[in-house]
Amino acid sequence: MRMKQESGRDAARRKGWKIAAIGAAAVVVVGGGVGIATASPWNDPASPSASPAPSSASSSPAAAQDPQADPAPAAADGDPQAPAGEYTVGLTPTDEAYAVNPATVAAITVAGATLDAVELAPRAGGTPVAGTLSADGTSWTATERLAFDTAYTFSYTVLDSAGQPQRETSSFTTVEPANEADASMFPRDGSTVGTGQPLEFSFSEPVTNRDAVEKAITVTSTSGQPGAFYWLTDTKVRYRPQTFWAPNSTITVESKLFGVDFGNGMIGNADTTMTVKTHNARLAVVDNTTKTMKVYLDGKLDRTFPITLGTEEWPSTEGYMVVMEHYESTQFTAESIGLKPGDPAYYPPTVVNHASRLSNGGAFVHEALPAAQVALGNINVSHGCIGMSPEGAKYFYDTFGPGDVVQILNTGYGPMYVWDGFGDWNVPWDEWVGQP
């Protein structure tokens, strides 16, 4: 019997966006000089708010002397009043920048002056961003990350070359929630799975910068097995080694996706470290020629059971499959595989016991219906599933779980596709690593 998957993961959110600014910098010459603002190339040049126009700026009352004007008044102590010293300020991000990538390291630099005090804080209030001032007082660099969808204000005091304090401010806004991109992994952190379980990464937004995303994800294992990525779609990628994971090993996945541009301006919003463990090796070899299932635990034959497979009209695929999930009991419907009442292969809704899913298309290992149990070991009567005796189905259900491997031989129908469940091991390694 075959049943289509009844439910799946929620569809990923689709979001609009404007791309984030990374490493933007501004330079302002003050104390009577000319201010120059350099906009980030990530900003939208068509928008007047994307970057400030070149401007003049001064934090001092001193100005160029008019030769016709009266001399400057003397200070109270009799010394002439000295003009403020000229200095330059560099800002990252630029003043009034928007859609800033929160991975940007906020910073201020000065030349011809020193920084006396710096604060970078959310404009709406909250804890300031931590940072460090250089020993010579000419730069301040944030040591904490920025947050998404936050307006920030830089407030800083500069002591110019004349020792005069100059209070300055600038502001910028980070990427809005619509620009965030989420990522998740299956199996979940802390899981223990079979040796055939590929790692599957799902993204909330289409990934066009595949290289950047792959470089941000590092997979290591105690077995030392190298692996490679294989993209099923723009929102889903799998990772596996050349051969099955070594039994009883630990796989560590470090995803440093915070601030990574997925493409189309969507920005990764988190870094995670996850671990997955494998248990002992469990392999069920199903042979259509002998109509048997042989179960091997750690390479040793443990049990042999008679089975039935799909008919010529509903053949079972060959090759490797991986257990996806299982149910102590569940209902199969003919409609789930496209059959309608009146079709020769139609069957009414049927409850089956000890069902272990092998494919999205509805291939299961399960207890054969009573009328089909006489066929076990003799002929094929299913709609593509592996039918077993009550004892055999319960043994499989109790012994095999997600990630454990089933191999089907001699059906003559070809392998299960990589996307139909976890058909990853049916893709030759040179094709896997050579995906364009």
Name the residues annotated as catalytic. 366, 385
φ/ψ of 314, rounded to 5, equals: -130, 70
The answer to whether 149 and 174 are in contact (CB under 8 A) is: yes
